Structure 1
Amino acid sequence: MASLKRLLVCGGTGFLGRRICEQAVAHGWAVTSLSRSGAAAFEGGRVPKWAESVKFESFDISKASPDEIRPLTEDSDAVVYSLGILLESNYYKTFAKSQSPLDGVSKVIQKWNRNPLKHRIEDEISYELMNRDLAVKLAKETSASAKVEKPFLFVSAAGEFPGIPQAYFKTKQQAEQTISTLPSLRPIFLRPGFMFDPSSSMTMTMAVGLKAIGTVNEMLGGNAPIISRDVLKPLSTSVVAGAAVQAIESESVTGVINRDDMIDLARQASFAT
């Protein structure tokens, strides 16, 4: 879509966000990245060539007012929210403040099973804040500033994963529900399972393990307990990022984008570059 030129990525220095910026630059977008670290995310290391074409802004959306956010969304043709956390800081604090390891594990499990609708934010970093409230905050300002229908892409999640609290997935779903009701937006919800990236040896190792479990599971003709099929088929961040850019550029793409659709969109993106 040639008319789309300016992309705003909230979380553009993160695990997936920087790959979205990279793919967008390759597709000819003028990219602005918002993160608390700004360009400092690359300090002390080699700055990749694509990053030289990105405008990195040091910006804390959790503290920003609507008047500070709206000019940024108004000046963009599409907006991406790729911030998110797998584990809250208050899980670590809950464990650390417990009287014993057993007591700590018990309290953490209680939090895992809580109802996110009734949960009050205890710390600055929480699922409710990072996975839901800030995404909705950005989407509302994008909606308010949109003169024509504007793509808003939210990086959600698919399935469940051992060790990740239910609240992680619930808050993603709640964000999707609210964003989908806002006017003047073309909402796009990417739902990847486990993602891996060559820059992270840990994710690469985990991806190999999950693929092995998935292969054995398929051979036995059953479903692995707890782990969803999408998680057992990990995706690279490059594939998810390619799908994100292609989804934004394709006017017919809207709503939930699952694993197979992401792979198809990523293929289209690779042909377009």
Structure 2
Amino acid sequence: MSASTAAKKLVVCGGSGFLGSRICKAAVRRGWDVTSISRSGEPQWKTVTSSPTPPPWAHKVFWERADIFRPAEYVALLKGADYVVHTMGILLEADYKDVISGRESPIAGLKRAFSPAARSANPLERRGPNSTTPEFKPPTSGRQLTYEMMNRDSAILLAKEAAREHVAAFGYISAAAGAPVLPGRYITTKREAEHVIVAEFPEMRGVFFRPPFMYDSSRPFTLPIAAAATALDTVIGPFKGKLGGLDTLLGAAALRPLKVDLVAEAVVEGLADEHVKGVVEDVRDFNELESRSLAKAPNFS
């Protein structure tokens, strides 16, 4: 294979997750070399698909373990990458292990999310003892995972390392809007990440994907939420932008949801197309990018 036809290399940070695993799948379908970085390595397949066994395409992905807050663990994996995408983030500032195990109630997690939290500075502005290296201490427990750390700081730190490796394009999975049940910091930290990445790394093409709510039959609880959001979008669609504060209050709850595989295909195509830059938010843009992506390689499951 010549240099001009060499497969593109994609690194997906958070590739073991709901959307991240499907971005890996879409990139494999395009014939790309794909590396996933996450703390768990290979996904727990029953949590991201309808089967506990890995699908055939998964054997073509390099599933690597690393902590995004410890660049030394993964910087070598970024070498030679054409594209890097950050798919990590949290909806609530809760220790999910404690919630699942029963040591903490979901109500306690919600209270913590809406309580005042310490704001952390841009990690690029925190300097270590040598005054040149950003200082950042990795979290030691789930209780330390804040919106600032997961939605913003982790993306900025990854973008910094990607820019250092001269990666052509950096994708960030942001969000179209907040929601009535989420603190405002959920969306403001994502917007802060977008702003800092554009300002600090102008030589690297940044693509900020802002999908609405994503659903899939492998996660049955997402289906009724998607159905309700679709119905609401149908009813108030003609009045969007004219409802004043209600538009802001409803946020993503009033946006037509998208199937997670569609978003994944759109992300891959957006990274591949050098003309796609900045924010990708309109549902029509996601649909167009997905259509273009599907036309470039045969489908498979």
Scaled by the length of structure 2, the TM-score of the pair is 0.77
Partners of 1:133 and 1:247 in 2: how far apart? 23
Deviations 1:86-126 (A, max 9, x none): 11116999xx999xx8x997775443xx685689x993311
Aligned equivalent of 1:239, options 238, 243, 262: 262
Distance 1:97 1:84, change over 3 A: closer
Aligned to 1:57: 64
Aligned to 2:74: 69
Aligned to 1:46: 53
Distance 1:220 1:177, change over 3 A: closer
Q: Is 1:206 matched with 2:229?
A: no
Partners of 1:252 and 1:73 in 2: how far apart? 23
**CA-CA distance at 1:5 after TM superposition:** 1.3
Aligned to 1:267: 291
**CA-CA distance at 1:236 after TM superposition:** 1.1
Distance 1:216 1:185, change over 3 A: same
User: One-letter code of the match for 1:16?
Assistant: L
Aligned to 2:10: 7
Contact 2:95 2:109 survives alignment (8 Å): no
Contact 1:4 1:249 survives alignment (8 Å): no
**CA-CA distance at 1:262 after TM superposition:** 1.5
Aligned to 1:134: 154
Partners of 1:38 and 1:266 in 2: how far apart? 27
**CA-CA distance at 1:213 after TM superposition:** 1.5
Partners of 2:40 and 2:22 in 1: how far apart? 16
**CA-CA distance at 1:73 after TM superposition:** 1.5
Helix, strand or coil at the partner of 2:44: helix
> Unaligned 5+ residue runs, structure 1?
none
Scaled by the length of structure 1, the TM-score of the pair is 0.84
Number of aligned residues: 261
> Unaligned 5+ residue runs, structure 2?
123-138
Partners of 2:212 and 2:191 in 1: how far apart? 14
Partners of 1:118 and 1:60 in 2: how far apart? 20
Helix, strand or coil at the partner of 1:8: strand
Q: Is 1:22 matched with 2:19?
A: no
Deviations 1:110-149 (A, max 9, x none): 43xx685689x99331111111111111100111111xx6
Contact 1:116 1:170 survives alignment (8 Å): no
Aligned to 1:89: 94
Aligned equivalent of 2:212, options 186, 193, 211: 193
Helix, strand or coil at the partner of 1:38: coil
Distance 1:173 1:270, change over 3 A: same
Partners of 1:52 and 1:105 in 2: how far apart? 38
Partners of 2:274 and 2:5 in 1: how far apart? 11
Deviations 1:202-221 (A, max 9, x none): 11110001111222224778
Q: Percent identity?
A: 36
Deviations 1:57-85 (A, max 9, x none): 111212x23x4333221231110100111
Contact 1:214 1:232 survives alignment (8 Å): yes
After superposition, the CA RMSD in angstroms is: 3.1
Give the alignment of 1:97-116 within 5 angstroms: 109-111=114-116, 116=119
Partners of 1:199 and 1:104 in 2: how far apart? 25
